Structure 1
Amino acid sequence: MIHSTKDNLQVLFEDNHLIIVNKRPGDIVQGDKTGDNPLSEVVKQYIAEKYDKPGAVFLGVVHRLDRPTSGIVLFARTSKALSRLNKMFAERETEKTYWAIVKEMPPKTEDNLIHYLARNTKQNKSYAHDKQIPDSKKGILHYKLLKSLDNYFLLEIKLETGRHHQIRSQLAAIGCPIKGDLKYGFDRSNKDGSIHLHARKLKFVHPVQREEIIIEALPPKDPIWDACL
């Protein structure tokens, strides 16, 4: 798996306040106990060199994607943008669209899924329940079947809530684990450790200039993703 460096970073949008990149599967957005170089540091290095900035570069992490997932990640370049974006994400004023590839045909071609998600921190896994249980949080998403491939199905997912591993957990709960996602019941892993879940589109209002921004990101190069385009 090729991890992001400042030289291969796929920048989708940048201005004085924001930078949006297409994350590769395998990259971590923020530093964790693995000690691997996070995407946030790669982006800081890119900004420092491109704009010849001495000293520390400010970069705010607005949201995250799971390590094996690919797609759109938005960072803030100013503290003003960061605080406004944090508020927008918390109040669900952004529209996030994901693509997922599953092996099983979903029960319906289009549906709203509502589950109560309970997170197990030791396993780093969330369990989807039909009814509320202690410490669970409501998870809501809408999925639509976009394409039937030879052996797989492409789903478009719109999130109404942003819970830990929400898409992975909820799709597994309807018998449609995502390709490569061993943790949530797929039968084998992808060779590169990725899963076929991609943050495809992000729609939001610019935190400073106030105009609407719509960003799309191509999925990683691979025969199954290529068949979806």
Structure 2
Amino acid sequence: MIENTDLEQDSAEDSDDLYEHHRIVVDKGQALLRLDKFLMDRLPNVTRNKLQSAIRSESVQVNQQPVKVSYKVKPQDVITITLAEPPRDTNVVPENIPLNILYEDDELLVVNKEAGMVVHPAYNNWNGTLVNALTYYLQNLPTARNGEGRPGLVHRIDKDTSGLLVIAKTEYSMAYLARQFFDHSIERTYIALVWGSPKEDAGTITGHVGRSAKDRKVMTVYPEGDYGKHAVTHYKVLRRFKYVSLLQCNLETGRTHQIRAHMKYLGHPLFADATYGGDKILQGMPTGSYKTFVENAFKLMPRQALHARSLGFIHPATKAFIQFDSELPEDFRNVLEKWALYEEQ
């Protein structure tokens, strides 16, 4: 899930150690390098401006001490980053955008996001995002240290992934939920339609996920763990169609594009996922009536076939475990029905 710096973000109100987001121990052979440049290579989701703002606000520390942007990283330095969210370079404009709210109380709300909505404002997407909508909807938002209001966003899902997100309404709930994401104790279940048929009925994919050296928009699996972040996805086959399979995926970690990258690595890219090659006919002969059938299916669901189905966590106030479920959206249901009918022909 904060498809942010990551699908996960972690925050701290009082203790930087408690909600540390990243901890980097510099290699023994590291040459002297400016801190912001060093972190650009380690945190590819974060822009240099955001990193520099984080360093200036003392959210980045070296050996438990605040430093300047110009600080030269040295061998064996220990660098920690403790932001709940990367600093923004602009104010979020409140927008009256309808929200599908499944649950709400004084501490949090659970939103069922539709595919096509960006979660957080960013370059080329300053408006129309979930955060714009939440900023309008929530009148008493947590306040960032620079005085700006912000929704308590502790995780994200991709623009073209549909499904559930939990939003904190207080600083306490934000920290409490963020800690659960940091500890990987949040229960997250996704439904995915993938090309082909996995050999096993259930399995676990373990492999570091990091930016591709060839294309920074794409995440790649590094099975040897020499780059990227530790990532674990558990999957179970729910139904096998003729050329595609319906899977349940449970995240143990929450890296950017984790399921999409892991499934491609497994040899079963998500159906209609243009970023990872799933928008092409990968099973069956791409000719005749079958080609027309698949092209029509792509038109029904012109985005990756991935839905954040359920979300479970311990409530910040009651300390009880609560779980929320959402139905598959119409485009997903229509594509499944189409494959079922094709199988009967």
What residue in structure 2 maps to residue 38 of structure 1? 129
Residue among 193, 213, 220 paired with 1:127: 220
Residue among 90, 100, 104 paired with 2:196: 104
Deviation at 1:193, TM superposition (A): 4.3
Q: Which amino acid aligns with 1:19?
A: L
* 1:79 lines up with 2:171 in the alignment: yes
Moved more, 142-151 or 85-94: 142-151
What CA distance in whole angstroms lies between the structure 2 residues aligned with 1:129 and 1:211? 37
* 1:27 lines up with 2:102 in the alignment: no
What residue in structure 2 maps to residue 195 of structure 1? 304
- After TM superposition, list the pairs within 5 Å mapping 1:164-179 onto structure 2: 164-179=256-271
| 1:168–1:184 contact (8 Å) kept in structure 2 | yes
- After TM superposition, list the pairs within 5 Å mapping 1:59-74 onto structure 2: 59-74=151-166
Identity of matched residues, %: 30
Does the residue aligned with 1:123 lie in a helix, a strand or coil?
Answer: coil
Q: Which amino acid aligns with 1:43?
A: L
Structure 1, unmatched stretches of 5+, are 49-55
TM-score for both structures, normalised by structure 2: 0.58
What residue in structure 2 maps to residue 221 of structure 1? 330
Structure 2, unmatched stretches of 5+, are 1-94, 140-147, 281-294, 340-345
| 1:140–1:159 contact (8 Å) kept in structure 2 | yes
More helix by proportion, 1 or 2? 2
* 1:12 lines up with 2:105 in the alignment: no
More strand by proportion, 1 or 2? 1
What residue in structure 2 maps to residue 51 of structure 1? none
Deviation at 1:47, TM superposition (A): 3.6
Moved more, 30-39 or 19-28: 30-39
| 2:196–2:244 contact (8 Å) kept in structure 1 | yes
Q: Which amino acid aligns with 1:126?
A: M
Q: Residues 216 and 100 (structure 1 numbering): CA distance in 2 closer, same or farther, change over 3 Å?
A: same
Higher relative contact order (CA 8 A, sep 6+): 1
TM-score for both structures, normalised by structure 1: 0.86
What CA distance in whole angstroms lies between the structure 2 residues aligned with 1:41 and 1:187? 30
Q: Deviations over 1:157-211 (max 9, x none)?
A: 1111111111000100111100111211213494464211111011111012111
Moved more, 180-189 or 96-105: 180-189
Q: Deviations over 1:92-134 (max 9, x none)?
A: 121111110012111211111111222248522111132122x
Deviation at 1:58, TM superposition (A): 5.3
* 1:146 lines up with 2:232 in the alignment: no
User: Who wins on radius of gyration, i.e. which is larger?
Assistant: 2
